[in-house]
Structure 1
Amino acid sequence: LTTMAYSALTGVAILSIMVPFVWVSPTWTGIGLGIVIGLASTIGQWIIVLAYRYGDASVLAPFSYTQLLWVSILGFFLFGELPDV
């Protein structure tokens, strides 16, 4: 819980500083998507915290590194982006 609380508080602090410069009133669709994204990312982070609580970091680290591969593949197929230097 501490890890998740510090992550959330850091994000709120940093993003709150930027809000006055980029604020756009959200639509109801945007609010709904924001709630869904917030719930999904909270659940995802909680699952990662639990994995590191019960598993060895040396076993879990390779899975974290494969995120770079998956993000590159999804970026190419969904957005036509190629990774650069």
Structure 2
Amino acid sequence: MVKIRMIIVGVCSLIVCLSILFVFYIFGIMDSPIKVFEGVLFSLLFPGVIILISSFVRICQGRNIEDMKEWRERK
């Protein structure tokens, strides 16, 4: 199950990267090799940041659930 989720996340990240690069290409931002390199780095960084934020949110939600279980046991 975990491997399937990792594959889905990888495919989604690749789709986001390619779509960002396509938008950069359409608007003419990638006109030099340095701009292409910056575009590739940005497109790889953007999904990573989203995944990082979502993992932090998930961890916080997990902690809240554990805190609620402990609170119920104390009652």
The normalised TM-score by structure 1 is 0.37
Q: Which has the larger radius of gyration?
A: 2
Higher normalized contact order (CA 8 Å, seq sep 6+, divided by chain length): 2
The normalised TM-score by structure 2 is 0.41
Q: Which has the higher helix share?
A: 2
